[in-house]
Amino acid sequence: MEGGSWKPIVNINGYGYLTTSDAAIPVTPTITALQSPTGSTPVTTGGTNGGTPIKIVGTNFPIDGSLPADLTDLLEVYFGTVKATIKSYNPTQIIVDSPSGTGSVQVTVKTNGVASPTGISYLYDANLNVSLDPLPLISFSPVLKNKLTLRGTKFDAAKKSDLQVVLKQKLDGALTYVLPVT
């Protein structure tokens, strides 16, 4: 070890700041790729309605876990100027669903107010929006295991594992059923 004055640098609660005894040093997040949450397939385009699941790969994201309610602004993801909802994260990846939008935008990450110096382009394409044909009035029971057939356009069979059918009770939405897709 060379001579001189050495000061320890430590991670404060894993929220992206390092400190010495003199001052806090911001840590800059970097983004290297936008991928499918279940693999490494690039995801750079999605429908204008939003909802495309995306894994943001990079470095200097907060430690595993969930941010306390009073610290949720310490990790933010933006598609252009629209803030995305973060589903999960760890130091090298963040899972989000794309918000709705139009055109080409830059995806950026902020930790403690420090933004990634460059973003990755993401293109909203209305031709990718899934549409669902109207459903007939039916009585459905998960207990009886009725079969529900949904018809529409732009369903991607290759991404069947990403599809989810959610049924909510019409009156107050208190009862929710998530059905497997077969």
Question: Model confidence over 39-93: pLDDT tens digits?
Answer: 889 999 999 989 889 999 998 887 665 555 555 567 899 999 999 988 888 889 9
Determine the Cα–Cα distance for residues 43 and 49; give it in Å rounded to an integer: 16
Domain chopping of the chain, boundaries: 10-127, 130-179
How crowded is the C-beta side of 125, counted as CA atoms within 13 Å? 10
- Nearest of 93, 100, 82, 87 to residue 34 by alpha carbon: 93
Which of the two residues, 136 and 173, has the higher pLDDT score?
A: 136
**pTM flag (> 0.85):** no
Residue 134 banded pLDDT, cuts 50, 70, 90:
confident
CATH number for region 10-127: 2.60.40.10
Residue 120 has pLDDT above 70, yes or no: yes
Give the tens place of pLDDT for each residue, 3-43: 333 445 455 555 554 545 555 556 788 999 999 998 889 99
For residue 71, give the 3-state DSSP assignment. helix
